[in-house]
């Protein structure tokens, strides 16, 4: 399709999945996206690289930068698409609590 450029997928790697947590490393090449998803569990994110997030959600689109190690926590129910809006690979570790 002329002018069509799909975003590549962000790559999830399950690091630990037990009775208490599911821990996933997400690796994004520049422009890669998770695809739209709803968080069924609360979660903590630990950026392993500087992360230039492009977030797409019901409110629109916004850019947020988190440096490596700048953690944050969100409640279950978040709905969004997470894109690597920067020009370098980015990676974070997501810890979901069951």
Contacts with its own copies by CB under 8 A lie at 15-16, 18, 20-21, 23, 25, 42, 44, 46, 48, 68-73, 91, 93, 95, 97
Q: Which C-beta is closer to its own copies: that of 8 or that of 72? A: 72
Q: How far is the CB of 10 from its own copies (least distance, A)?
A: 16
Q: Which C-beta is closer to its own copies: that of 15 or that of 88? A: 15
Distance CA 51, CA 53 (A): 6
The H or E element spanning position 14 is strand 11-17
Strands 51-57 and 79-84: antiparallel
Q: How far is the CB of 34 from its own copies (least distance, A)?
A: 18
Q: Which C-beta is closer to its own copies: that of 61 or that of 69? A: 69
């Amino acid at each position: 399709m002329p002018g069509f450029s799909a975003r590549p997928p962000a790559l999830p790697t399950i690091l630990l999945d037990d009775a208490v947590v599911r821990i996933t490393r997400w690796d994004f090449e520049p422009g890669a996206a998770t695809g739209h998803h709803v968080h069924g569990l609360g979660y903590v994110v630990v950026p392993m690289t500087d992360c230039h997030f492009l977030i797409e959600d019901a409110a629109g689109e916004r850019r947020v930068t988190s440096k490596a190690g700048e953690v944050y926590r969100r409640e279950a129910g978040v709905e969004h698409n997470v894109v690597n809006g920067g020009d370098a690979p980015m990676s974070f570790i997501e810890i979901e609590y069951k």
